[in-house]
Structure 1
Amino acid sequence: MPKPKPYSIKMFLPVGDPDGLRIIEKSNWTGEGIVFARAGFEEDHKKRKEFQRTGVYVLVGQDDTSSLPQVYIGEGESVDARLTSHFAKKDFWTWGIFFVTKDNSLNKAHVKFLESRLIELAAKAKRCNLTNCAEPTKPSLSEADTADMDCFLDDMLSIFPLVGLSIFEQPPRRPCTVSKLLYIESKGIKVKGCESNKGFIVLAGSEAVLKTVPSYPESFAKLRDELSKKGVMVRKGDLYVFADDYLFSSPSTASSIVLGRNSNGRTSWRNKEGKTLKELQEAVASASVND
């Protein structure tokens, strides 16, 4: 994996509201990301020329029956026309983000390619509930256009987490070095994982208890159910086994899911010498102070 390169992001708030319309630009990039709230859509789309351009968009909402966000991914030769239709007909979403270019250089084939790739990545990451009815057919692009769109996609993916959308994030291919591995062995299960700058990764082959305690938080119960339905956790006998590496938002969420009870991840995860994550972090902090 190549080492990530530094870059700068510029965010402009045209109405001065951090929860309202935001225009996002990246250094040396022709693209623009526009974040908007459903509540302000009727006014925003009439004032901003970006809405009239060809682009790809993501609509985001939350279902009370799920702990994962609901998402719809689409494209349009005029983003405004598609979003106006969704404003009238789709109830679930509360905010969205779309990407266009400053010179309007994206065409229909470009955005259909980007739409297809985003749906593919979201389905693979299994961190949201896609409301798209069918996976679109990826258009045939020239070799040069494919390379350009792959680069454009990389820039989009670098922006999504900055606006709180981590549904495309996946664990790296080799997520945990041996020295960074952490373990849980409790209630007859064995679990391996590690911290990353994107969250906490539980490795494929790790186990989770089948039954949860009566006081188990509803949000975790929903997440366990969804991970089971998506095939991340597969039942084998009297326990679950992780079929894939999975990225959780925190060590505590990860440990709570595998143990079937509310758990403090900083004290539940231990290295091979038996030191807790909390002890390891405190040792790093202490060394920094002494230096």
Structure 2
Amino acid sequence: MSKPRSQTIRIFLPSGNPRGIRKVERTSNSNIRLIEIPRTDLHLFYEMKEAGDMGIYFLVGGNQLYIGQTMDLSTRIKQHDKTKAFWQRAFIVVLNNDFRTLDHLYCLEKTAIEHAQAAGRFSLENGTAGNTHRHLHDSIRSDCENIFDEIDTLLAVLNQDFFNEKQKSIVEVEALLEATAQFEIHPAQENSSKDNINEYSIPNTWTGRTITVFCRSRDKILRGKGLFNVETEQILLLEGTMIYRKISETLSSGWREIYQQWLASNFLADSKDPDYYVLQSAQLCTSPSMAAALVLGNNRNGWQYWRTERGLTLDEVYRKK
């Protein structure tokens, strides 16, 4: 996800009721319009021009969440109103004219499902993980990355947090610290033991203030270990890091190329886990998200997935200040 930037958000109340339908969008360079609809106000939404548009949507009730996409929002929401009892509010994302294609819909739906699953804040009611059979052009993926960032921002304006991992309790953090004890190392520039540095094949060019960070997969098993450079925001993946074998087609072409280079250069070896390779030497990643994607095999917000020794995310320590 891109770094926060200043922007102006407009909230429009079609009925004048602040607890009713709300339309939210950026005042400039907006790719989407987000509409919040209480279930009791669906009849009002059906009268709006957006009701016949294509888009993706989120149905929310308690700790349950359903994510979908459709070419006709009115028809699909009416179906869910008859068949799904759990939800109380719908959040509908209408794309602007430049992005009204099936490819954009499928990519956004799948991206949203993956991020919601990774965050684990809600019980996801989807029966599938989204469309996995479309071969998307890089420009479509780039569009969807920007649109997804905008969706996340507009949802946050409405106090909806579907995609960020829930803050852990003290007990959970202590458990994480105990589990990561076996991975404890010191940043190269702060360690005078040459043998320890060589053990992890840390390059001499790695300089700057760093901290040790860890990355877990969805099954909560620690997979990645690295050094985060506070000044450059790079991550040096350390020897012994686990790398998922099945790289997603939605991963950027540049990152997939790096993965293939690692394979060709014998940087990756078989491990005891058949789903993962093990990294044979330290490798530099230009961002936390690149490092998380290469470890876990799919696009991830690395600022949420990499954690410090105290169990805090990089986002909590270095961006939410």
The aligned residue for residue 120 of structure 2 is 126
Contact 1:72 1:132 in 2 (8 A): yes
What CA distance in whole angstroms lies between the structure 1 residues aligned with 2:66 and 2:40?
17
Alignment partners' CA distance in 2, 1:128 and 1:160: 15
How far 1:136 moved relative to its partner? 1.7
Return closer, same or farther for 1:100/1:163 CA change in 2, 3 Å cut-off: same
Paired residue for 1:265?
none
SS at match of 1:20: coil
CA distance in 2, matches of 1:190, 1:59: 29
Given residue 168 of structure 1, which amino acid in structure 2 is its aligned partner?
A: F
1:33 and 2:34 matched: yes
Structure 2 residue 110 is matched with structure 1 residue 116: yes
Amino acid at match of 1:79: L
Distance of 1:2 and 1:153 partners within structure 2:
11
Contact 1:116 1:135 in 2 (8 A): yes
CA 1:132 to 1:13, structure 2 compared with 1: closer, same or farther past 3 Å? same
2:9: which partner in 1?
A: 9
Aligned: 1:159 with 2:154: yes
Matched, 1:169 2:164: yes
Cα distance in 2, alignment partners of residues 79 and 191 from structure 1: 42
User: 1:97 maps to what in 2?
Assistant: 91
Deviation at 1:43, TM superposition (A): 2.7
Q: Deviations over 1:223-279 (max 9, x none)?
A: xxxxxxx85599xxxxxxxxxx9x9xxxxxxxxxxxxxxxxxxxxxxxxxxxxxxxx
Aligned pairs (5 A) from 1:187-198: 191=173
Q: The residue matched to 2:152 in structure 1 has which SS?
A: helix
Structure 1 unaligned regions, length at least 5: 63-68, 176-182, 193-202, 208-229, 235-244, 248-291
- Structure 1 residues 204 and 14, CA, compared in 2 at 3 Å: closer, same or farther? same
Distance 1:102 1:3 in 2: 23
AA aligned opposite 1:90: K
Question: Which of the numbers 143, 149, 157 marks the counterpart of 1:148?
Answer: 143
CA contact (8 A) 2:25 2:154 kept: no
Partner AA of 1:13 in structure 2: L
Contact 1:21 / 1:36 at 8 angstroms: preserved in 2?
A: yes
State the 1:103 CA deviation: 2.9
Write out aligned runs for 1:70-81 (5 A).
70-81=64-75
Q: How many residues align?
A: 183
**Does the aligned pair in 2 maintain the 1:54–1:104 contact within 8 Å?**
no
- Give the corresponding residue for 1:205: 177
Deviations 1:70-111 (A, max 9, x none): 000000011111111001111000001011124374112211
Question: Structure 1: how far apart are the matches of 2:4 and 2:49?
Answer: 33
On the 8 A contact 1:60/1:95 being kept in 2, the answer is yes
Q: Which amino acid aligns with 1:53?
A: D
Cα gap change, 1:162 to 1:89, in 2 (>3 Å): same
Indicate conservation of the 8 Å contact 1:72/1:131, yes or no.
yes
Where structure 2 has 5 or more consecutive residues not aligned to the other structure, the ranges are 180-217, 223-301, 305-321
Shift of 1:141: 1.5
Q: What's the CA shift for 1:205? A: 3.0
CA contact (8 A) 1:125 1:167 kept: yes
Which residue pairs with 2:100 in the alignment? Answer: 106
Q: 1:153 is paired with a residue of what secondary structure?
A: helix
**Residue 73 of structure 1 contacts residue 118 of structure 1 at CA under 8 Å; is this kept in 2?**
yes
Matches within 5 A, 1:221-240: none
Q: Could you tell me the TM-score, scaled by structure 1's length?
A: 0.57
- In the TM superposition, residue 190 of structure 1 has moved relative to its aligned partner by 9.1
| % identity of equivalent residues | 27
Q: Is the 8 A contact 1:54 1:108 kept in 2?
A: no
SS in 1 for 2:58: strand
1:223 corresponds in structure 2 to: none
Does the 8 Å CA contact 1:190/1:206 hold for their aligned counterparts? no
RMSD over equivalenced CA pairs, Å:
3.0
CA distance in 2 between partners of 1:29 and 1:164 (Å): 20
Are the counterparts in 1 of residues 32 and 94 from structure 2 also a CA contact under 8 Å? yes
